[in-house]
Amino acid sequence: MNRRDFLSATAATALSASPRFFSIESFAESFPSTYKSLFKPLDSFAETYLRAMNAPGLTLVLADRDAVQRVVTYGFSDAEQKIRVTPDHLFQIGSISKSFLANCLLQLHQEGKLDLQKPILDYLPWFRIDSSFEPVTVHHLLTHTSGLPGIPNVFLSDPAAKHQAAYAPGKLFHYNNTAFHLLGHLLMTLDGGLLPDIYRRRILNPLGMTQTEPVITLDSRDRTAKNYAAFYSDRAFPRFGRLCEAPAIISSDGAGCIASTPHDMGLYVQMIARHGEGPKSRLLSEESFGLFSKPHIKAEEFGPTASYGYGVAVDTLDGHKILRHTGGMISFASAMHVDIDEGVGAFASINAMQGYRPNPVAQFAIQLIRALREKKTFPAAPVIRPAGLVEDAADFAGTYHSTDGRSLEFVAEPNRLSLKHKGESISLEAQGDGAFVAPHPDFSRFVLMFSRADAKDPKSPVVELGWGNDWFTKPEYSGPKSFDTPKEWTAYLGHYRNENNWVGSIRITSRKGKLMADGTTLLEPQTPNRFRMRGDEADTEWIEFHDIVDGHAQRIKLSGEDLWRVLAP
């Protein structure tokens, strides 16, 4: 009996009291599972999570060193037709694919075919790079520390252009898809084949991952769960914003190209829980697994305690060492957590992209497993913040005025902040760090950005507000109210777009004498038409303005990718 027949024969379906939530259960390896007693609290949290996060469906697998212990799916593949997610559905795992690529490169390293400290140009001399710093090595690319932009394609559209380093490699962590796209070419060059064939030979076949697709093509669309994206793709997305079916995509580069089933991902989790050992032989030697799981550099993009290894984040949870990663695709969001001390792990994926990842589900799963193994009381389920929860709402309340006489009024209620507008009360959603989304058409294009009197003092009063090009202040504001803005910047303002789903829209705004992307990210001038994006110290991305016609730039380059002016707001 093959795996597909086995799943069909042993699947048990449980329909909850609500017609909008149910799970499909499958014990693919161990039957019954060692962990059956934790299924009820886990299922209860999964239901709560899907409802609270406005997710259509979710797939989940639990595994330990011994076996894949549970495969379960929740909710809908097709939300309109009420077709359930099943264990056979493919979900795109996004950047979790980076750990597959790192595993293959580490196999080449242990075979003596790859020096991780060697400059990438020694292996790929065709790669176009402009840098005054020391060479970028394979290690720098694997750890997102190359100092190169992370947005553009490896092969820039302008044949004369080069990828430009922002700072010395190894200095700072900046998440970089371009680096792993390039590493995919390194793997193909050194291993003498195409990426999907290499993945099958080095990882999928040895682990028995027979249902996994190593690249995403339209050929696998019928096997893929129906998936959803934001209906409005050019603006901030509120948690309960409108979704629509996403277009099919093709993805075949090393940054994120794998689609898999929960059972197959359980086999992958099991290999990591076993420190690189497969069912018949080791994929990674102990030394190679040590490099894979070593915290090479702090990676606060993954959390305040996180570092980065090779293609995977390294963290701690309840005193245990965790390897974890998320995956964000156009219309899928995934999370993998593996406790390599205890040897247990979980993978979860949602068939929609709304800006978050199902980390709480994967994390709670391994906490329940550990508690059961240690014969301890199950931990309480994570608390899911309601979309409109604003604990410090009173800090932002009040009326803010613009220099042209407009005003915005914000009202604080217990744990809630509302904007009064045209007789309506619009409940705001916190995005962190004084940023809020207002789910209303009049405010949908930009995030509301509040600022305090002293940016370094989180207890100083909130005195100003930015929204796109607009700036408002409270009476308590005591700073300058007029600013010098270079005249030529007027030509840069506006909406630019590339219909590549990975690029999308950028709106260039000007506020308080500064140029910004989407009203949130400062653009720091480098030349008259070129600006460095300053989302944080490690940001390597840049924007350049071109083709000034009738007083307006018609095109921008975003780290080498072209976007064109849109004749609409």
DSSP secondary-structure letter at 383?
P
173 band by pLDDT with thresholds 50, 70 and 90 = very high
Report the pLDDT value the prediction gives residue 328, as an integer from 0 to 100.
96
Report the pLDDT value the prediction gives residue 30, as an integer from 0 to 100.
43
Report the pLDDT value the prediction gives residue 433, as an integer from 0 to 100.
87
Q: Which residues have CB under 8 Å from 452's CB, separation 6+?
A: 434, 458, 460, 461, 462, 463
pLDDT at 306 over 80: yes
pLDDT at 12 over 50: no
Report the pLDDT value the prediction gives residue 432, as an integer from 0 to 100.
85
pLDDT tens-digit series, residues 250-280: 999 999 999 999 999 999 999 999 999 999 9
Q: CA-CA distance, 216 to 242, in Å (whole number)? A: 26
Q: CA-CA distance, 255 to 327, in Å (whole number)? A: 10
Average pLDDT score over residue span 369-392: 96
pLDDT tens-digit series, residues 424-481: 999 999 998 899 999 999 999 999 999 999 999 999 999 999 999 999 999 999 999 9
Report the pLDDT value the prediction gives residue 21, as an integer from 0 to 100.
61
CATH code that applies to domain 393-473:
2.40.128
| % of the chain exceeding 70 in pLDDT | 95
pLDDT at 31 over 80: no
pLDDT tens-digit series, residues 35-66: 999 999 999 999 999 999 999 999 999 999 99
11 band by pLDDT with thresholds 50, 70 and 90 = very low
From the centroid of its chain, how far is CA 317? 20
Please count the other Cβ atoms lying within 10 Å of the Cβ belonging to residue 189.
12
Report the pLDDT value the prediction gives residue 23, as an integer from 0 to 100.
74
Q: CA-CA distance, 406 to 202, in Å (whole number)? A: 63
pLDDT tens-digit series, residues 532-563: 999 999 999 999 999 999 999 999 999 999 99
pTM: 0.93
pLDDT at 198 over 60: yes
Rounding to the nearest 10 degrees, give the CA dihedral for residues 178, 182, 185, 190. -150
